[in-house]
Structures are given as C-alpha cells and as structure tokens.
Structure 1
Amino acid sequence: MENQIDTGLLHIPATEPIVIFAIILLSILLSQTIFRKIKLPAIIGYILAGIALGPHGWGILQNDSSIQLFGNAGLLFIMFVAGLDLNLQEFKHTAYKSIIFGLLTFSIPLSLGFISCRTLLHLDKLPSFLVSIMFSTHTLIAYPIVSRFGITKNEAVAITIGGTIITDTLVLMLLAFIASGYGNSSNSLVWLKIVISGIIVAFLILWLYPKALRWLLRHIEGEKLIPLIFIFFMIFLAGILAKAAKLEPIIGAFLAGLALNRTLSGNRELMNNIELIGNTLFIPFFLLGIGMVIDPHLMTEGSLVIKVALILTLAALIGKYFAAQLTRFIFRYSSVQGNLIFGLSSTHAAATLAVIFIGFRMGIIDVYILNGTIILILLTCLTGSIVTDRASRKIHLAEEYTLPEVSALPERILVPVANPQSLQSLLELAIVLKHPGSDEPIYPISIVEDNDQVQQNILKSRKNLDNIIQHISLSEVKIQPLVRVDVNIVSGIIRGIKETMASMIVMGWGGSLKTSERIFGSILQKIISETEQTTLVSRIKQPVFIFKNINVLCPPNVEYEVGFIYWVSKILIMAYRIQATLEFKTSKDLLPVFSTIARRWKINPSLKNTIYSDWETGFESSSHSKTDDLFVIVAARKDTISFLPVFDSLPQRLNHLPENLNFILLFPEQVEKMKGTGVIPVSEIHISPIMSQMENLKKISKKVMKSVQKKSSHE
C-alpha cells in the first residue's frame, strides 16, 4: 500500500495495540491541555484530534473495531450518566416541561427540515422525511461540560435531558419503522412488536436493576472494585436488552442510569470512580471515533457538497434554536438558560449517523447528503459545545453568587471514632449532611486515654485512621484525622469540639449500657449535657445512599429551638442528595416552614408532613420501618423547650428496636430558654421539670413494687 509506512513499531497506520493506545492517550492529554489554555471545551479537541489522526487526515489511526468498541461504550456511558444525573425529585416537578420541550425539539426541526429538503435540495418525499428525522435527533455531546461546571441540577438541564429521551425515542422508533420495510403491509405488526418489547425491557431495567444493586451493596459493604464492575456490566446489559427489543442501545443505557439514579446519587466515591473511567477513556474514544468519520477533503470537492452541508447545518441549528427559545418563552426561563438548552440540544452525532447510514445503505439518500451530514456533525458539535460552555460558565457564576447565607463561623463536622469499623459509615453520613459549597474538612477524632501505653496507642490510632481513610479515598471531600490524649474519652471529645470549633458532632451508637455507665452516665449523656452543638448519633448498618425513605419524628415545640433551621437544613440536604422521600412527623402542620427552608437552599426534595396525636403514637408507627427506611428521632436536652420526660429512657428504648432498623438520634443545638417571654404561646409550654420528677417517682415506685413482689414470692 502506497499510504503505509513500516519501520518496526512505527507502522502507519498504526497496528500495534500498545502504539494505538499510546497515541490515543497522548491526543486526549494534549486536547485537555491545549483547549483548556485557549478556554474551549476539550470535546472539540477530541473531535479535531480524531480528524487529524484518522484515515481522512494523517492516516495514523484506522477507525477499526477497537476504536468503535470504546466509542460505542462512550456513547452508552454518556446516556447512562445523563440518566444518573437526572434528579428524579426535580424531574417529577418538570416532567410536563420535558414532554413539551421534547415535542417541540422533535416537531420544529422535523418540519423545517422537510420544507428545506423539498424546496432547497429538491429531494423526494421519502428522502426528505428521512433527512428531516435526522434534524430532530441530537446527542448530548456537550453534557460533560455541564457536569464539569456542576449545574446538572439546573431545571434547564433537567428538561433538556428529559426532552432528549422523548425526541430520540420518537426518532429511533420512526427509523425502525422505515428500516423494517417502507410500504410493507406488516409495518403495523412491526410497530406493535417494538412497543411491547420496549415496555417489557423498560420494566425489567427499572424494576430489577435497583434491587440487584442494593442487594450487592448490602452484602459486600467496603468493597470498591466489585460494585464498579457490576455497574458497567449493567450498562452494557441494558444496551443488549434494548437491542434485543429492536431499540437503540442508548435507550437501554439511559434507562439503566435512571434505574440506578436513587441508589447511586449519594455515593460520591462510587460516582467519582464511574465518572473517572468514563471521562478518561470511554467518552474521549467516542469523540475521537466521530472525528475519524469526518472527511475534511469533502469541502474541496465542489460547490454542491458545500451547499448541501450549509443547508443541512443551518436547518438543523435554526430548528433547534427555535425549539429552545420557544421553550424559554413558554416557561419564562432566562436568556442564558435558553442558550444552554440550545447548546445541549443542537449537537448531532451518534443517532444522526445511524439515521443517515441506514438511509444510505437502503439507497434512499445519495453520497452528497451523506457527506453533507458528516460536515453537519462537525459544525453542530463545535457550535453546541461553545454555546454550552459559555452558558454553563454564566449559570455557574450566578448560582455561586446566590448561594444562601450561612453562619459567619465555618461549618466543621467532628466525627468521634470509638470503633474504627464504623468510621466509613459515619463519614458517609457526615458527607451527605455537609453544606453545599463548604470547603472545610471533616474531622475524625480518636481519643487515647493517658496511661503507661499512651505512645503505642497514639501510633496505633493514627495508623488505624490513616488506613481506613486511604481505603475510603473520597476525592471531593477533605478529611483531616485527629488523635488526642486525655484523661477520658468524654473530656477528649469535648476538647476536640473546642479546638476545631465544631458546629456538628456525628458519632456512632454505643449499644447497651455497661453497669458503670448506668451509675455514672454514658458517654452520650455526658457529651449531650456538656455541649450545645448539633449532635447526631447513628446506628446505620448499610450505605446511607440506598435509603428510599427518611422518617423524622419531632417533639412538640421543636420549631422554637435555636438550632431548628440548621438541623432541618441538614436533613433536607441529605434527602435531596440521596433522593429519598422525606416525611416529618410533628404535633402541628410545619410543612410551609420545611418548604421555605428547602427553597432557601434551592432544593426540592419530596416532602410530607404527618400530624400525630401524641409523640408515643408517632414513635410506635415509625419504629416498624422497613430496611430501606431511615428513622430519625429528634430529641432534646433537659430543661429545654422541646424536652419530653420520655427522652430520659429513650436510649434504652432504642436498644430494644429490631436489629435491622436503621436510626439516627438527633440532638439539635439548644440553649435553655426562659419561659413566659411571649415567644411561645402559654398553652404550648411543657412544664418539663415537674413532669420529669413525676416520671422519676413512677420509676422508683415500679422498682419498689417489683422488689416487694419478689420477696413475697420467695416467702
């Protein structure tokens, strides 16, 4: 071959796998470095690198099966992450908007494309219809840009993703209809088969996938590699199932992301690992593969190719622009949000190639339309990426500027560690409770008692903490372990709170009380009595991010406590992050208050507020929670507004709850309040000191009666 050069390993086009892989990795590295310097998306660099390295450029690489394998994986990964990042709570509130945008971004480009092909390109009806279908579809090429700027929760992004699935599903179904045989009398039967098989596949993925992953995470807690491999297997299995149903594999991948959305949304470690592999290999390979298909020499082969390319590109971009702007007008979005919708929905790639190649193979379209489409892909990818990048930057800056005000003191979470095996669970809880935007580290603290073996114990504690934290490896969260020497554990924890100026304490549940603790008080009782910080005591025996429901039992007058807004914000943020349904059980209707706090943080979790007749009823109903439920009991310190006498015996009652019940005992930040100040209605004030003494008298009388009965039975 005249275009081949062979000098050992330096064979052009490259055939040695290690050489091919090295060249691709170098091109990915250079694209990231160069395009970040010139402030353009790396996506454009990947496509241009594919053009330069591919068979239509320098000919260094061939678009062979290995490139296509990783490229197909990249496309599936993009659709999987799109489903994974779609906040289901937000989607429930924006579902009708997604449907409207999906119909607009399908019908407007379809209509404009059909008219353009008939009048400007003078194509017949079937070729015009096929090409106009191509205008309606789009691929979320620019989605990694949105993800990088951290604005995936913006409503404009949510409706674009939802609309993408609607329009792509309609396009791919029409394509399957055409490919099955235009004019064939059995088309109605083909349609029926596709619809039925698609419903079955969707049901299997959406119902079975979450159950399978939850089962795996419960039984292999602490493992990292197995869940990661299992998730990637599930992505490709979903693609296979969709393919078997005569649907495009990207639909199966999106359904897989949607199915695992709630289970993975709070697990930042696993999400980080998934995104790292996908963004490093799969997506760049996919974009390089797109670049290799593009032939820049077509621009010099005559005015007809340029004319066709310009008409196709303008029709595609104008149709998508009108759909985006009409959506912005209907829902009163900002101009920047309208541009973001346009940028995300204007890029054409995989589905466009599928439509046009099928039409070319069937002889419906000619080589000029094919070549013009390849140029359209390059131009729309460049345009969409640039528009998305600029809009994302503006929205990111605006959202950063309008973050809710927080306390002047930095938020610092202290995690006392008694049992090193529970540290991962406590850190996961601390992370989902952390305020968005907080750069403060989480402080795990180990207390070493001052005795003859203090130095050995210090070294052992440091080693244990370091080993566990290295295995957790949460890249987005700073963790600063502390080891302190003190005369006892309680004193060390209290000193740690003062040193770090901690605003919240997250500690593990100690279980049954020892005899000495019954006499002198438990560690928890001492910490609660000697501190004022918000304190959470956790007995969670599974990953926190797989909970479906959070049930919060609140005592009367809880809304009057100093730390009310703070702890409610924490629970709301946690529910939003793990996408769990949140139910508050209170003595009065506080739903407007909870909703106001949620709006302050610009989050929209699924909220309920149940009114109980008395606290005991609320406790009994919540104590029978399911495995996927988290029971949060809001308690109070003594002599505070919301304190109830029953709280004295609460630790003992919690010890008798079923072993599989996961709960958090929460003590809000509280200071003693003066009664009768007019802040609280007199009718709502609980005379807790008197009630407490009466409760103690009851306990003493019961014990006396028991001892009397025992003596009489012996006699």
Structure 2
Amino acid sequence: MLIFKLAIILLASKIAGDLSVKLGQPSVLGKLLIGIILGPAVLGLITNTEVLNEISEIGVILLMFLAGLETDVKEFKRTGKASSYVGVLGIILPMFLGYLAGITMSLSTFESIFLGLLLSATSVSISVAALKEMGQLKTKEGATILGAAVIDDVLVIIALAFVMSLSGGDVNLTTVILKKFAFFAIAIALGWKVVPWVLNRFVKLQVSETVISAALIICFLFATFADKAGIAPIIGAYIAGVSVSVTKYQQEVTEKVETIAYSIFVPVFFTLIGVSVNFTGITDKIWTIVILSIIAILSKLVGGALGAKLAGFNTKSSLGIGSAMVSRGEVALIIASSGIQNHLLSEELFTVMVIVVLITTIATPPLMKKFFSQSKNELAS
C-alpha cells in the first residue's frame, strides 16, 4: 500500500538523518543508507514502484530548483572560469582512467570509451543537499560546483552523442549540439524576460498560493523542456530556480518550496536510491566493483580539485569542490541505460556500474564534510 510505504520512508529517513547528524555526518548519508536497509537488499519492507519513482523524480527536481533559488547570480558569474576548469578536468581524468580500465577488462575500443564517459558523468543533487546543510551553497565554492555540474552535463552528453554516432547508433551529432545550444539560449531568454512577467501576472489571480503555484509551474516546465532537449531535467529545474531567484518573490518561494520538498518528496528521493540496490549475483564481480569505485571516486576528486586549484582556490577548498563532483547519481544511470540500448554496455557490467554509482553517491557526503570542515578551520585559524 503506497500510503503505508510513504509513512515508513518518511519515519525512517528522518530518524536515520538525525542519527547521521549526531555522528558528525550530513543527514543525507543516513537517508541513503536507510534506503538500503529498508529495500530488498536487507529487510525488503520497501520495493521500488512506478509511483514512488515519480515522487522521487519530483524530489530531485525540487532539490535542484531550490539550489537555483539560493544561487547568488553575481557570484555565479564570477566563478565562470573556475567552473569551466573544474567541469573540464573533472571529465578528462575519469574519461582517461575509465578507458584504460575498459581496455584492461578486454572491452572493445568503443565500449572502453563509453565506460570512460559513464565515469565522467556528475550529478550534484546529493552534493546540493550536503552544501545546504553545511551552509556552503551560497559561497564561491558552491557556485563553482553548480556551474561545473552544468558544464559537465552538457559536455558528457555531447561526447556521448559523438561516440554513439561513430559506433553506428542512430545519432546525429550536429542535431544534438544544436538542441543543446537552443535549449540554453531559449531557457536563459525565458528566465530573463518571461519568468518575472509570468510571476507578476499570476499573483493577481483571485485564488490562494498563486506565487508558489506559479513558481512550481515554471520549475516543472523548464525541467520538461530540458528533458526534451536531451539534457537532465535537474538542469532545467536549476535554471528555473535561478530565474525566480532574481525576482522579489525569491524568499517566499524558497520557504514554501522547502516545506513541500523536504516534508515528502526529497526524503523519498534519497531513500529510493538505497532501495534500488540489489546485491544478488555480484559476488563474482566484487573486485571489478572495488577497482571501478576507486577509479570513480579518485578521478573526480582529483580532477575537480586540480581544476579548482588552477582557478585559485586553496588546497582544502579545492578538495571540497572535487569531492562534491564525485557522485554520479541519476545522470550516470541514464547514460548507462542508453549504453544497454546501443550495445555499448553489457547487462553484467550495467549491474556493476549501478553499484559503483551508489558507492560514489554514499561516499560524497562524508568526503564533503571532511574537506569543507577542514577548509572552515583553516579560515578560522
């Protein structure tokens, strides 16, 4: 029964999050781990369903919308150079090491390149939650991480289209690039001119909660637009949040979206990541999982940190930025699914990569806590 499952998820995620904080870790780590315990891997109390997946998707979209709402646009503009360095170097190193791992595993050239691309993906939805908890979202580091995530997403998707076009997939590279360019051009134009106008008109309607309703409509439409353009919906939601953040409604929308998101949708998103884990049949692949997980974590951590260091951040802040890029999340899973469809990833390796993605997701919050706490201590001293 859906209602019972929601009650269990909300109760368990809140308690697990509280325990995680008491142990000195971000609450999101506890929410991820409790999903594994509740799911088929341990207790089997919660199973993934289509309805829960839809609720989870709304959760991640609202999470990134909130990240956009809390973005300092002036700071975001100033970190363009740093975001570019972090985004690009955070792709090059995982791509290279992933390719070498594929060759070592006797994969074909295209399969090895695809594995490198898969390891290059980044999803900062988990990082955003950790940044909010640590009060780092509105900092220069936070703006750099969010900007790098957008750059990473676009470059990886374009590279993926290029690989698929060469490997015989029915993909037109020129069309893909034009769609991406058109999305950002139109989304920015709409955010700049249309979003404020829509909000100002919508609030005049003689019904309740017009501001929050208008903001959510904008968020969901931008996420849908991004999805249709072949870009992760969370990028569209983030741009929508930034668009609303420069209006006079920013504070009201932020407070009300936080209430809606964190009361039900976001806990379901975090918990379902853990619920999706299934350890059946992975015993024979344990060393493959360990090696690919080490490559996945270190390549993003080092690549992102090098980019931040080149942009002028100190060592601890650079490592904090690098650690925030470690989680592969839903972006990597989407790419992995396309690999299955285009015969660039075997079913066996797909299962391995799902576990690797989960490990990177679980590793991200404690890594961020470690490096950002150290960075704060350095500034204090």
TM-score, length basis structure 1? 0.50
Aligned partner of 1:212 in structure 2 is: 198
- Counting only pairs closer than 5 Å after superposition, residues 253-272 of structure 1 correspond to structure 2 as 253-263=237-247, 267-272=250-255
Aligned partner of 2:38 in structure 1 is: 53
Q: How many pairs align?
A: 379
Aligned match for 2:329, one of 336, 341, 349: 349
Q: What is the deviation of 1:337?
A: 0.7
Aligned match for 2:212, one of 228, 232, 246: 228
Q: Using the alignment, how far apart are the partners of 1:148 and 1:171 within structure 2?
A: 28
> Structure 1 pair 226/176, CA: closer, same or farther in 2 (3 Å)?
farther
AA aligned opposite 2:235: I
Q: Using the alignment, how far apart are the partners of 1:177 and 1:361 within structure 2?
A: 16
- Counting only pairs closer than 5 Å after superposition, residues 418-429 of structure 1 correspond to structure 2 as none
> Structure 1 pair 227/178, CA: closer, same or farther in 2 (3 Å)?
farther
AA aligned opposite 1:228: I
- Counting only pairs closer than 5 Å after superposition, residues 410-449 of structure 1 correspond to structure 2 as none
Q: Using the alignment, how far apart are the partners of 1:243 and 1:214 within structure 2?
A: 27
Q: Using the alignment, how far apart are the partners of 1:326 and 1:396 within structure 2?
A: 20
Q: What is the deviation of 1:105?
A: 1.0
- Counting only pairs closer than 5 Å after superposition, residues 288-367 of structure 1 correspond to structure 2 as 288-299=271-282, 301-302=283-284, 305-367=285-347
Q: Using the alignment, how far apart are the partners of 1:94 and 1:33 within structure 2?
A: 33
Q: Using the alignment, how far apart are the partners of 2:148 and 2:47 within structure 1?
A: 35
Q: What is the deviation of 1:35?
A: 1.5
- Counting only pairs closer than 5 Å after superposition, residues 199-598 of structure 1 correspond to structure 2 as 199=184, 201-203=186-188, 205-207=190-192, 208-217=194-203, 219=204, 225-263=209-247, 267-299=250-282, 301-302=283-284, 305-395=285-375
> Structure 1 pair 64/186, CA: closer, same or farther in 2 (3 Å)?
closer
For 1:655-679, what per-residue CA distance to the aligned partner results, in whole angstroms no more than 9, with x for missing partners? xxxxxxxxxxxxxxxxxxxxxxxxx
> Structure 1 pair 152/248, CA: closer, same or farther in 2 (3 Å)?
closer
SS at match of 2:122: coil
Aligned match for 1:158, one of 131, 134, 143: 143
Aligned match for 1:42, one of 27, 43, 57: 27
For 1:540-565, what per-residue CA distance to the aligned partner results, in whole angstroms no more than 9, with x for missing partners? xxxxxxxxxxxxxxxxxxxxxxxxxx
Aligned partner of 1:30 in structure 2 is: 15
For 1:7-58, what per-residue CA distance to the aligned partner results, in whole angstroms no more than 9, with x for missing partners? xxxxxxxxx2221121111112221222122222221222222222223332
Cα contact 2:110–2:163 (8 A) shared by 1: no
Q: What is the deviation of 1:397?
A: 6.0
Q: What is the deviation of 1:344?
A: 0.8
For 1:90-136, what per-residue CA distance to the aligned partner results, in whole angstroms no more than 9, with x for missing partners? 12222122112211112221122112221x22211121121111211
> Structure 1 pair 292/186, CA: closer, same or farther in 2 (3 Å)?
closer
Which is richer in strand?
1
Q: Using the alignment, how far apart are the partners of 1:206 and 1:96 within structure 2?
A: 22
> Structure 1 pair 226/392, CA: closer, same or farther in 2 (3 Å)?
farther
What RMSD in Å do the two structures reach over aligned CA positions? 2.6
AA aligned opposite 1:253: A
> Structure 1 pair 331/184, CA: closer, same or farther in 2 (3 Å)?
closer
Q: Using the alignment, how far apart are the partners of 1:286 and 1:327 within structure 2?
A: 30
**Percent of aligned pairs with the same amino acid:** 23
Q: What is the deviation of 1:189?
A: 4.8
Q: Which of the pair has more CA radius of gyration? A: 1
AA aligned opposite 1:71: S
SS at match of 2:79: helix
Q: Using the alignment, how far apart are the partners of 1:239 and 1:24 within structure 2?
A: 25
Q: Using the alignment, how far apart are the partners of 1:246 and 1:155 within structure 2?
A: 29
Q: What is the deviation of 1:327?
A: 2.4
Confirm whether residue 173 of structure 1 aligns to residue 158 of structure 2: yes
Q: Using the alignment, how far apart are the partners of 2:337 and 2:274 within structure 1?
A: 16
Cα contact 1:342–1:384 (8 A) shared by 2: no
Q: What is the deviation of 1:291?
A: 1.1
Confirm whether residue 17 of structure 1 aligns to residue 2 of structure 2: yes
- RCO higher in structure (CA 8 A, sep ≥6): 2
AA aligned opposite 1:161: L
Cα contact 1:87–1:153 (8 A) shared by 2: yes
Cα contact 1:76–1:249 (8 A) shared by 2: yes
Cα contact 1:205–1:238 (8 A) shared by 2: no
Q: Using the alignment, how far apart are the partners of 1:160 and 1:186 within structure 2?
A: 30
